Amino acid sequence: MWRTRISLALLVALCLGARAVMNPNNPSFAQVAYVPFEGEASSWHDGFARYDYVMEGERISPFKRSDSEGFGVAAPAEGQRRCVVICPKHPAPGNPWSWRGCYWDHQPQTEVELLRRGFHVAYISADSNLKPDSHWESWYAYLTEKHGLSKKPVFVGMSRGGQYALRWATSHPDKVGAIYADNPGGDDDIFRGLPDLARQDVPLLFVVGTNDPLLSRFAGPFETIYQQFGGRASTLIKEGAGHHPHSLNDPKPIADFLEKSVLDSAPALPAFADGSKLARSNYYSLAGGFKWHPEDGYYIASHGAAFSPCYAQYALPLGFDTPVTIIVPKTEAPGRPWVLRSNFVRRDALLDQALLAQGLHIVVGPVGYNWDGPKLAEWNKMYDYLVAHGFARKPVLEGEGGGAGAVYGWAVENPDKVACIYAVDPIMHAAGVEAQPLDRLEGLARAGVPVMHVALGSEPSLVAEQGEMERRYLSFGGKITVVRESSLPKAVDFIRSHSH
């Protein structure tokens, strides 16, 4: 089954490049009062009112279409574009709308469902020769400035239509509400524009077939890049399907995604922002579901932000070379317990995801570019700042390999500020300290800091070092539990029983 992977290098870029929290009161996004559409109405699927227009240059005029077009639309005359608007019977608040370029009336079930939910639906002529250009700008202005539709449409795009939706969106990242791209094509301009789109927190949904050759060329890389820059990407994967058929026979999952994207609002600014230049992105796992869809005749896998818990992730500068990263639970536990670690939280970090679900904040302390571990002064400043903003006085310390050694480096300097330590195959080395953690365990033991080590590795010197650490900690009267296999329930129970 197809999946994507995350690179640490781009996760660093995520923390440095995440978008600033948008200002919803920006006057450039003030909505114009709704104005009904002019011209002669005809009927589209299920009796929805259809208005046709022709665009020549920047001029848009009502157009009398031929009955032979049925629900479709004919190719425009040379130098013109055909435009279509379908109106809902009861417009939703804010006048949301979906925009399609290419393949009008092909698999229209998602748009019909959106019309039932109060969306307008719009189209402008597009094909291999008619690409997104100034005509799209004029059509957007006509719908938003003259008729009062939302400043942030959602896009429905299939194949080349998905490519064009992503092309326009990455060129206008602040004018998009969400994108549903079905087995989309792509180009280099889209790849270059995805980070800006992620910074605007535009949700993306890819519907793809595992046998479509475009999957590995475009949709897969698009999703991976978008995740790495903190954007919300989600994917529905039809097992065994090719490029066709597009969409789903039951469009509810797609329509739900688009409607929720319109209704979602940015979370309230957290108290720890404190007027600083805060950047927000998203953290979510790659976990998802897999089930049979009888309406389509496929098993469909799902993963991404729409199908797993999605948490706000903030980059807090505090004057350091690299920011402090804070992942915020949806509902925090009493006393604001938190986990402190020195390396980034991967998408497969099941323990951190379980702790977020139980209300703990996850904090990644700053580690600069030119050294291997935390600077004591910076971590002390970070600790004081967070405690002053209501975080528990004793965080849980967590790490794996060298990341565990790094948090031990801070712990041995601050034994009275540690709730417990959880480490997987710890390498007991810390940069920038006078004495290594292995030689300074007595203070932690005397402070009663409980430790759990998960020993999975078999490299002889590492096994010997961990054994020596265990022997010394016990000799100082410390409490340490060593397990030889990873167990998520044991880890969660250990941390929750000792977090304050």
Average pLDDT over residues 156-173: 98
What confidence score (pLDDT) does residue 137 get? 97
User: pLDDT tens for residues 279-292?
Assistant: 999 999 988 999 99
Residue 363 lies in a domain: yes
Give the closest residue to 160 by CA, choosing from 132, 193, 133: 132
pLDDT band (50, 70, 90) for residue 32: confident
How far apart are the C-alpha atoms of 282 and 199, rounded to whole Å?
10
The residues facing 49 across adjacent strands are 43, 87
How far apart are the C-alpha atoms of 402 and 404, rounded to whole Å?
5
Give the closest residue to 139 by CA, choosing from 85, 87, 179: 85
- Is the previous residue joined to 245 through a cis bond, with omega within 30 degrees of 0? yes
CATH number at residue 456: 3.40.50.1820
Residue 1 lies in a domain: no
Q: Tell me the HSE value of 430 on the side-chain side, using a 13 A CA sphere.
A: 24
What confidence score (pLDDT) does residue 369 get? 84
Please identify, among 239, 271, 304, the residue that sits at the C-terminal boundary of a domain: 304
Two structure tokens written together for 323: 């920011």
Is there a single domain that holds both residue 252 and residue 348? no
The SS3 call for residue 361 is strand
What confidence score (pLDDT) does residue 29 get? 47
What is the helix, strand, coil percentage profile of the chain, to 5?
Answer: 35, 25, 45
Two structure tokens written together for 242: 């090719």
Task: Answer yes or no: is pLDDT of 342 > 70.
Answer: yes
What confidence score (pLDDT) does residue 18 get? 37
Is there a single domain that holds both residue 409 and residue 490? yes
Residue 242 lies in a domain: yes
Average pLDDT over residues 22-50: 77
Two structure tokens written together for 328: 């915020």
Give the closest residue to 159 by CA, choosing from 218, 216, 74, 85: 218
Strand 324-327 relative to strand 310-316, pairing: antiparallel
Please identify, among 275, 304, 333, the residue that sits at the C-terminal boundary of a domain: 304
Provide the 10 A C-beta neighbour count for residue 383. Answer: 19
User: pLDDT tens for residues 451-479?
Assistant: 999 999 999 999 999 999 999 999 999 99
Is there a single domain that holds both residue 248 and residue 344? no
Is there a single domain that holds both residue 41 and residue 156? yes
Q: Tell me the HSE value of 359 on the side-chain side, using a 13 A CA sphere.
A: 12
How far apart are the C-alpha atoms of 108 and 92, rounded to whole Å?
20
Two structure tokens written together for 40: 């002669």
Q: Does 357 or 32 have the greater pLDDT score?
A: 357
How would you label 271-282 residue by residue, b for 16+ Cβ within 10 Å and e otherwise? ebbeeeebbbbb
Mean of per-residue pLDDT scores for the chain: 92
Residue 3 lies in a domain: no
Please identify, among 304, 335, 369, the residue that sits at the C-terminal boundary of a domain: 304
Task: Answer yes or no: is pLDDT of 5 > 70.
Answer: no
Task: Answer yes or no: is pLDDT of 450 > 50.
Answer: yes
Is there a single domain that holds both residue 207 and residue 340? no
Average pLDDT over residues 437-451: 96
How far apart are the C-alpha atoms of 129 and 256, rounded to whole Å?
33
Q: Which residues contact 398 (CB under 8 A, 6 or more apart)?
A: 339, 340, 341, 351, 352, 404, 407, 421, 422, 423, 495
Is there a single domain that holds both residue 55 and residue 202? yes
Average pLDDT over residues 181-190: 97
What confidence score (pLDDT) does residue 85 get? 98
Give the closest residue to 386 by CA, choosing from 499, 273, 269: 273
What confidence score (pLDDT) does residue 30 get? 63
pLDDT band (50, 70, 90) for residue 277: confident
Number of domains in the chain: 2
Q: Point out the least confidently predicted range of 2-16, 55-69, 98-112, 207-221.
A: 2-16
Is there a single domain that holds both residue 296 and residue 336? no
Residue pair 89/120 in contact (Cβ under 8 Å)? The answer is no
User: pLDDT tens for residues 293-321?
Assistant: 999 999 999 999 999 999 999 999 999 98
Is there a single domain that holds both residue 274 and residue 212? yes
What confidence score (pLDDT) does residue 19 get? 35
Residue pair 362/339 in contact (Cβ under 8 Å)? The answer is yes
Domain with 201 in it: 8-304
What confidence score (pLDDT) does residue 2 get? 39
The SS3 call for residue 356 is helix
| pTM of structure | 0.90
